[in-house]
Copies of this chain bind each other. A is one copy, B any other.
Amino acid sequence: MSNDFEDRCDVHCVHQDKVITVKKQMAGLGDPVRLAELFKTMGDPTRLRIIFALMNQELCVCDLAAVTGASESAVSHQLRLLRQQQLVKYHREGKMLYYSLLDNHVAVLMKQGLEHINE
């Protein structure tokens, strides 16, 4: 049984009952670091532009550069991140790579985020 918070509790105010309850609930968060990575990945304007651009059609890297206004190198770097985070996938056609969203979870998050912004 974990009581690693009690040292702290004794010192300050802390509502022990509440804290114990909430601590148990925290299990539902799963791995906060992993979830934070997802949100962090969406926490950059360039990547957001890339994701948004890919919501309706697949695009190659230089298309994405043109659309987002970022350099092709910058876009490529960001695409790597998006790949690592499993947000996008791609397929090759000749010299070019066509990127698209891996699933629609990201699109849903995007829409929900936009809703929040627009109050």
Contact = CB atoms under 8 A, between A and B. Distances in A.
Interface of A: 5, 8-9, 12-15, 18-19, 21-23, 25-26, 28-45, 47-49, 52-53, 56-57, 59-60, 62-63, 65-67, 69, 72, 96, 103, 105-106, 108-109, 112-118
Contacts of A60: 13, 15
A21 B37 CA distance: 31
Chain A binding surface, main DSSP class = helix
Given A9-B66, A18-B63, A42 B36 contact: yes
13 contacts: A5-B69, A9-B66, A12-B72, A13-B96, A15-B63, A23-B66, A28-B114, A30-B114, A30-B118, A31-B117, A38-B117, A39-B40, A108-B112
A35 B114 contact: yes
Nearest to A54: B22
B18 A59 contact: yes
Given A19-B63, A19-B66, A29-B52, A113 B39 contact: yes
